[in-house]
Structure 1
Amino acid sequence: MAPQFTVYTSAASQWAQVAHLALAQKGVPEDKYDLKEIALMTGGNFDPEYIKVNPNGTVPSITSPSLDKPLIQSLDILRYIDAFEGESTLVPSDPAVKAKAQPILDLVHSDDASTNTILLLARDAEEMKGKQNSFFKDFVGARQARLEKEQAADPSHPFYGPKVQENGGLNKFYTTEIGEEHNKFFKNSDDAFKAFAQVLDKLDSLLVLPYAAGDSVTEADFHATVWLAHALFGAGTDATQIQDFSVLEKLIQKSVPSFTIGDKTRQWWASIAATDAFKKVYPTLH
């Protein structure tokens, strides 16, 4: 039997893991779908053929003969998978549960929650030097090279010009000698870390327990899971130490000295990490 849908994914994409968690949780047989790996680390998501699938150049995406157009948002993708196999279980039908799940979904998808703060920003010369000597420099540089290549090949394409400018601004800080022009970047980065701390505090206040919105795993759990896992990984946590929050805490405490991961967040994380879906997708942090 031919696969019924295709998931465009990447091990480097946090939101792609939402699809993998949903597939695992729902027990969708592997012969019912194809996986296509997008080389995110080298700008494969900017390939013109992939832009035809996902005009945002983001991962994940789903295509299927049963769909009028590709699904390109992780929320829509999870809901498609949830409805694909058996009774819907991840999208709450109870209005009270939905009312608890939605604020968590909104929070982890907010601008202040961007894990790029943890992965790519720097608050001073020491951090900037560290980033310039890390694989993050290669990542940002590879994105820029691919974007410039595609823009040169198709100058009128509406996607590439703005992206060249956006990524180029960050790439400049990674490739130039650290000096006064970095100071505003450092200040903005510090502000972003403070905002990220507030997001974590807000998450702690929203969690219901044992799972994000109550007694059952919902879409809120999987979106919050991939977000926090990526932040832990990006902070430099040992990938095998899934319950270790100390590295992320210390990183944030440089901007917010009093910051700690809340007790409810720790309890929720222990609960979600004990699920079979989590264990399948996250044998280690990534």
Structure 2
Amino acid sequence: MGRRFHEIHLSTGDNFAPEYLAINPNGTVPSLTAPSLAKPLIESVDILRWIDSRGIKTLVPKDEFRSKEILALMHSPSMSTNIILFQARDPAEMAAKKSSAWNAFLEGRQTRLDKELAAQPNNPFYLSKAAENLSTTSLYRSDIGPDHEELFRLSDQMYRTVAEGLDKLEGLIALPYAAGSEVSEADYNTVPWLAHAMMGANTPVTAIHDFVPLERLIQKTVPDFRIGSKTKQWWSNISKTEAFKKGQKLCQYRVPHPSAVVDVPPLYRLRDTVVLLQGIKEPPKSAANASSSP
């Protein structure tokens, strides 16, 4: 399958460039274009399904209802990993965030948004997005005050919701994989979420099976929280697949600071560097790679 890949760097606001918004008006990532598509695909679930459809479908599980429940959970706004990456629950956490790479990440986005807004002052997307990003950036820039106290309160509530979501995931998982006996789209949508959350909790890149940092982070709000046994077993199972292992060898993780580039497993690959799949040339389905599973 012929294709072109374009990296979109979130830390410098590449996803806010007018050229990218022409493809994806939401400014989200990833995106995919192809000759047979009436319009670009701009949701990761849709992109995965479309790529899978080029050959023999292997990622749609037998238990589609369970899979849909898992996908809905992993992509729900209340489970956004931004809660772990950017939110703070007290002055100590806020100070840590201010001295972290996430501060540079937010500032890089704000710089790009301000630039685009200056060029298009009446553009509703830039007006809204610049104000939204500034609402967080301003808290990183200022001393602790009433606005921070409100942030701390809301963040605590959000962590409770994340704990509830992970408990729900534990109940949904049907081993050996997320939705049963075969690797499916449920796995490929859950791995990035959990890996992103673990990275946000500062899990060592050499300890991808260590859930303690993430548990401790959530336990600050929910003291008795634990990652469930089924979730841990699923993670162990999926990490043994060939796709997982190949990804560990191929992917490079770029942290939000432009001077910091280190090699780590793909599980820790922040959406700071994502791929825009553009202009895919589609072979006949019979000629496509028939194996999408690990």
TM-score after normalising by structure 1: 0.86
Q: Does 1:88 align with 2:54?
A: no
Deviation at 1:281, TM superposition (A): 2.4
Q: Any residues of structure 2 matched to 1:39-54 within 5 Å, and which?
A: 39-54=9-24
Go from structure 1 to structure 2 and tell me whether the alpha carbon gap of 1:259 and 1:233 turns closer, same or farther (over 3 Å shift): same
Q: Deviations over 1:100-134 (max 9, x none)?
A: 11100000111211000111100000000000001
Which region of structure 1 is more displaced relative to structure 2, 104-113 or 156-165? 156-165
Between the aligned partners of 1:282 and 1:67, the Cα distance in structure 2 is: 31
Structure-2 separation of matches of 1:181 and 1:77: 39
TM-score by length of 2: 0.84
Q: Give, in whole Å, the separation in 1 of the partners of 2:99 and 2:141.
A: 10
Alignment partner, residue 242 of structure 1: 208
Q: Deviations 1:138-162 (Å, cap 9, x if unpaired)? A: 0011111111111110122221111
Structure 2 residue 247 is the aligned partner of structure 1 residue 281? yes
Structure 2 counterpart of 1:91, one-letter code: V
The one-letter code matched in structure 1 to 2:58 is T
Distance 1:277 1:56 in 2: 30
Write the distance in 2 (CA, Å) between the matches of 1:57 and 1:240. 32
Shift in Å, 1:276 = 1.3
SS at match of 2:6: strand
Written as runs of structure 1 = structure 2, the 5 A alignment for 1:19-58 is 32-58=2-28
CA RMSD of aligned residues (A): 1.1
Question: In the aligned structure 1, how far is the partner of 2:25 from the partner of 2:81?
Answer: 22
Q: Percent identity?
A: 51
Correspondence for 1:113 among 79, 86, 89: 79
In structure 1, what residue type is equivalent to 2:229? D
Q: Does the alignment pair 1:139 with 2:109?
A: no
Flag structure 2 segments of 5+ consecutive residues without an equivalent.
250-264, 270-294
Instruction: Give 1:148's aligned residue.
Output: 114
Q: Which residue type is aligned with residue 118 of structure 1?
A: I
Residue 159 of structure 2 is matched in structure 1 by 193
- 2:124 is paired with a residue whose SS is coil
Structure 1 match to 2:286:
none
Q: 1:266 aligns with which of 232, 237, 240?
A: 232
Counterpart for residue 290 of structure 2: none
Q: CA deviation at 1:66?
A: 1.8
Task: Name the count of aligned residue pairs.
Answer: 252
Q: Read off the aligned partner of 1:100 and give its amino acid letter.
A: R
SS of aligned partner of 2:131: helix
Kindly state the Cα deviation for residue 181 of structure 1 after the two structures are TM-superposed.
2.5
Amino acid at match of 1:37: E
Distance 2:5 2:200 in 1: 25
> Moved runs in structure 1, 4+ residues, more than 4 A?
none
Deviation at 1:179, TM superposition (A): 2.4
